[in-house]
Structure 1
Amino acid sequence: MSSSDKSSLLFSPLKIRGITLRNRICVAPMAQCSAVDGVPNDWHLVHYGSFAKGGAGLVMVEATIVEARGRVSRGCTGLWDDHQIEPWRRITTFLRAQGSVPGIQLAHGGRKASGQPFWVGHGSVADEDGGWPTIGASAVPFGGAVWKVPKEATIDDIDELEEAFVSGAKRAVEAGFEVLELHFAHGWLVSSFLSPLTNHRTDKYGGCLENRMRFGLEIAAKVRNSIPEDIVIGVRISVTDYADNGWDIKQSIDFAKKLKTIGMDFIDCSSGGVVSYIDYNGLNANGVQLKAAQSIQKEVGIATAAVGKIVDPHEAEAILRGNGATLIFIGRAFLNNPHWPYMAADVLANKMSFKYPDQYDWCIGWRGFDKWRRDVLKDENNNLF
């Protein structure tokens, strides 16, 4: 596709509920483990601000924890307390000023909480070394270096955890976020209820698929009913455990159907992270995720997000054109180049579909180029060459 083509789907606007994304390029949530008491700081402002300045339609900030016990590491950002709202509002105000929609992933680490920062390792931190007790669907540890055995959640615990998600969602809206994503993936709290490998309960939250989905569906319904209708809500799931007798794509489709019914707006298709013994080096996880995004979007009729080492603008465009997803979530490519959309625009977009920030546009944008032609490329009769 040439730069003069005006039909790029990647750079086409998208309206969902009360928000409009300027394009389909979305920053995937990526943990920074750099907060103090859950409060984001200058690192987060510059980190996320660079993506907004770089042209992303949606900037989804990292997994932000809804109760202190759910921190995956001590450095997790949070929204479990009102004092965390205003620092986030500083960031959402900047993102919006650059033309991006601010989004946030709400999460609870469950049995994977009380860990080290990711650049140190993925191991559990003992209580005597500054860690804290964890909680999950059943008393089943993740395994390996994440050795802590979680408390099996009681019915009272479940009620409190659901309310923690609701309170976190309300604070997120107050902080200025317009898109919320509920983190139900990767073996974290809600994921541990979904998978039969980690849910050994015998009550109404365990056993059959309907029961295992109950906790997540209750959270999603309560969050939907507690925040304004124009706020977009998505759900990240692991579409498969990559393990026999575990969660799989068929169950993901059934879950997505229920989520759509209660008002969820998109499904973010990730995978794995539920059990420790999977060798991901031998798997085509990205292919699995893209196939699942396409299947869920087609069979359920709900928007999906494609994610997984998408680095080529042509690939992103092809996914959208093939109805493989509605949103393109990009992670590591944005870390390599916070201005990834600039590069993609050189390939796919044009002056009608992409605009640089004013501070850059006068120089490298289409308007800047046109002005340069007018001012420089003239002959002695003031005609353009």
Structure 2
Amino acid sequence: MTVEKLAPNTAAAGVPFYTPIKTAPAGTALDTGADVPTLFTPLRLRGMTLQNRFVVSPMCMYSTEDGHLTDWHLVHLGAFAVRGAALTIVGATAVTPNGRMSPEDGGLWKDSQIAPLKRVVDFVHSQGQKIGIQLAHAGRKASTLVPWHTTPTCPQVATAEAGGWPDNLWAPSAIAWDEGYPTPREMTVAQIEGVIQSFADAARRAVEAGVDTIEIYAGHGYLLSGFLSPITNQRTDAYGGSFTNRTRLLTSTILAIRAVIPPTMPLLLRISATEWMEHTGQPSWDLAQSQQLAALLPDLGVDLLDVTSGGNSPAQKIRADAYYQADLAGEIRAALWRDGEERLAIGAVGAIATAEMARSMVQAGGTWPAVNVNGEKGRNGEGRNGTVEVDAEEEHGTGAKADLVLVGRQFLREPEFVLKTAASLGVRVQAPVQYLGAPFKLGGAVNGGL
């Protein structure tokens, strides 16, 4: 009798612990050809290639200690990488202490915060996946309490006794978020220049930690978003007034970060495509200006625009059917393509909760299904306030609205969302080798890849 000798398991390289090497990252399609949905085809952004079009959207966890990530983040973020998310983005990470949304938010304003981030990065890389980080400054919406310590009738302000800094909020103009909230300080030019440098310094630390990409957060009424809006930016200097002046802080920040990250590293940007304040009849940030900004981004060094909306005013009125966010992304993408600009990839967001919904957003030539709105409202302001007009049966047309999807809450419900989507769409994909004993069903039979 001949006994076959099996080769020993090979360890993944470049990580400080043992884990089996992956022949392909989880979530990689095992078949090729025209029958594979775009959702499970690769996407290249500069030197980073994603094996599928799923991105874990940045989500605040309010679980750091003095801005340092903890084992919570290792387990929370690592779970998505294990189960097939091609790119996981660490939630809003403050570039200054007063730029945190809450006292428990993450930060990269000092070097001691690099090592805890690197620990998470190393694990994600050990699974063959990519990881990014969203850099942010919360502006006038900083110093708030964590969600589970707030009530609908109580302002969310974190006082000094709760570890907050309500007397040290920064904004383009001294306009409070809402009644009962502190009035921020109008930033001096020196403070504006200092914030630009803080973004660059945080980007340098992120590179040292080994991240694959960086996203700049300029949405939902936080500092960079506040400068874009003529509602919240009433300055009369070089950072206010005209479109060029209101976008100056953002464009300067983009250039400062691009200068300190590798030329092969893609740079992402998240904006609110509209404030949903057109009903006031007053100037506001809207889709047309977002399209104008998007046209500038490729030459500034931005590779992907992550399109969301709202969050800069509690008076917003959102037209919130199932695809209202993706429709905005599609309008921006269409305007770019009409002008012959295809260098800027587009990301779509918005309560993506089903396989068909995710597929339809990136599939060329596909028909968009009708999906009922689930009524969720976002912590960052996407639908939290104002009148919401719902038309769940509106026709959304055909064709791709974006190049990838950024999924948040559904990953919290189903960390295996990528694998379940593949099974639902009939796509064989690579699973974590440690989980091969528990395959999903594909078309009524066991999916060999899963």
Per the TM alignment, residue 219 of structure 1 is displaced from its structure 2 partner at its CA by 0.2
Counterpart Cα distance in 2 of 1:286 and 1:347? 20
Tell whether 2:152 aligns with 1:148.
Answer: no
Aligned Cα root-mean-square deviation (Å): 2.1
Which amino acid in 2 is paired with 1:309? A
- CA offset digits 1:83-103 (Å, max 9, x no partner): 000111110111111222101
Contact preservation (8 Å) 1:356, 1:365:
no
Tell me if the contact between 1:6 and 1:349 (Cα under 8 Å) persists in the aligned partners. no
Give the counterpart of 1:107 among 128, 133, 136: 136
**Matched ranges for 1:202-241 at <5 A:** 202-241=236-275
CA distance in 2, matches of 1:171, 1:149: 31
TM-superposed CA distance for 1:21, in Å, is 0.7
- Higher alpha-carbon deviation: 271-280 or 208-217: 271-280
Alignment of 1:57-136 (within 5 A): 57-121=86-150, 123-127=156-160, 129-132=162-165, 133-136=168-171
What's the counterpart of residue 296 of structure 2? 258
Find the residue that maps to 1:69 and give its secondary structure: helix
Residues of 2 paired with 1:371 and 1:143: CA distance? 54
The residue correspondences of 1:185-334 to structure 2 (distance < 5 A) are 185-244=219-278, 245-278=283-316, 280=318, 283-284=319-320, 287-300=323-336, 301=342, 302-321=344-363, 322-334=399-411
The aligned counterpart of 1:340 is: 417
Query: Percent of pairs identical after alignment?
Result: 38
Check conservation: 2:423, 2:440, Cα contact below 8 A.
no
C-alpha distance in structure 1 between counterparts of 2:306 and 2:273, whole Å: 9
Unaligned 5+ segments in structure 1 are: 373-385
Deviations 1:332-363, CA, capped at 9 Å, x for gaps: 11000000011101022533xx2001101254
State the Cα distance separating 1:265 from its structure 2 match.
Answer: 0.5
Aligned mates of 2:255, 2:99 — CA distance in 1:
21
The number of equivalent residue pairs is: 364
The CA distance in 1 between the partners of 2:438 and 2:358, in whole Å, is 27
- Give yes or no for contact 1:66–1:106 (8 Å, CA) kept in 2: yes
TM-score, normalised with respect to structure 1: 0.90
CA-to-partner distance for each residue in 1:219-259, whole Å, 9 max, x for gaps? 00111111101111111001111113211000001111122
Q: Could you say what secondary structure the match of 1:226 adopts?
A: coil
5+ residue gaps, structure 2: 1-29, 337-341, 364-398
CA drift at 1:11: 0.9
| 1:54-96 Cα shifts (integer Å, max 9, x gaps) | 1101111100111101011010011111000011111011111
Structure with more helix by fraction: 1
TM-score, normalising length from structure 2?
0.77
The 8 Å contact of residues 269 and 306 in structure 2, kept in 1 or not, is answered as yes
Which residue of 350, 353, 366 corresponds with 2:427?
350
Contact 2:42–2:52 under 8 Å retained in 1: yes
Whole-angstrom CA distance in 2 between matches of 1:293 and 1:197: 23
- Deviation digits for residues 6-57 of structure 1, max 9, x if unmatched? 4211111111111111110111111000101001111111100111111101
CA contact (8 A) 1:8 1:349 kept: no
